[in-house]
Copies of this chain bind each other. A is one copy, B any other.
Amino acid sequence: MTEATRRERLRAETERDIRRQARALLVARGRDAVTLRAIARELGITAPALYRYYDSREDLLRRLADDICTDLAAELNADLRQIGEDDISAQVYSVCRGFRRWALAHPQEFALVFASTEDTLGSCGPDGERGHVGDQFGRVFLEVAGRLIASHPLPTGIGADVPENLHADLAEFQQILLATVNDRGVAVDEQGLPLGAVYHMTQSWVRIYGHVALEVFGRFPFAVSNPEPMYDSMLAQILGELGFPPQP
């Protein structure tokens, strides 16, 4: 089973330890507190040793961001498993609420992964591709959203007047979505996932991300004493536009 040599196992273990400590520092005292020396101190080694595992502090932060995406995806998937396989609307609620809950509980991680300029932190995910939400997390989100749309006859006029200039981009995204959903064993084609719906999904991500980021960064235009109903009402409206009845 374990094809790894002793050396490789040890290496992988320290590698995990390093990121675990790095993450603890990020959570506790923010991005700037994630210093190589602090990590090393915590691990009982010296700072230069870390260069055997990471090219630089920036490299470490990049991989840390990957870890965070993976864990977020795992958390959302765990929530999903508690929901009936067929109640897709509830699954969407679960993922969206889970995303907000996670972001508010882990603002530093959220800022690192979802609010870093591209030059201070490359794209998240092992592939260097551009324009992805952190891969693992993105998959969960896209899959459930894609299944939602494909599962239901869409209201007429959904995503009406999608801008001409976006057809090409949306068509590409449509293919990614189809692949993602089909990977999960649900058969869908372009008919079940029309461009208008893909466009609507994009707009929904704008709203979900916008609300969560505004809340995390405290940039709502007034003091919202309890933002949760506002978020839920937004989700209800998004699902309502797709023809799903409201649901707590």
List chain A positions with a Cβ less than 8 A from chain B.
30, 32, 107-108, 111, 114-120, 123, 130-133, 138, 141-142, 161-166, 168-169, 172-173, 176, 202-203, 205-211, 213-214, 216-226, 229-230, 232-234
Contact = CB atoms under 8 A, between A and B. Distances in A.
A142 B233 CA distance: 23
Given A119-B30, A210-B210, A202 B176 contact: no
Contacts of A221: 131-133, 138, 141-142, 173, 202, 205
A99 to B, nearest CB: 13
B217 A118 contact: yes
A233 B115 contact: no
Contact of A123 (B216, B218, B232): B218
Q: How many copies does the complex hold?
A: 2
A68 to B, nearest CB: 14
A210 B206 contact: yes
Where chain A touches its partner, the secondary structure class is helix
A159 to B, nearest CB: 10
Given A130-B218, A164-B229, A166-B229, 7 more contacts: A107-B117, A131-B224, A141-B221, A161-B233, A169-B222, A169-B224, A210-B211
Contacts of A211: 206, 210
A111 B123 CA distance: 16
22 contacts: A32-B120, A108-B117, A130-B218, A131-B220, A131-B223, A133-B221, A141-B221, A142-B221, A163-B233, A164-B229, A165-B226, A166-B233, A169-B226, A172-B222, A173-B222, A202-B220, A202-B221, A202-B222, A203-B234, A206-B207, A207-B210, A208-B210
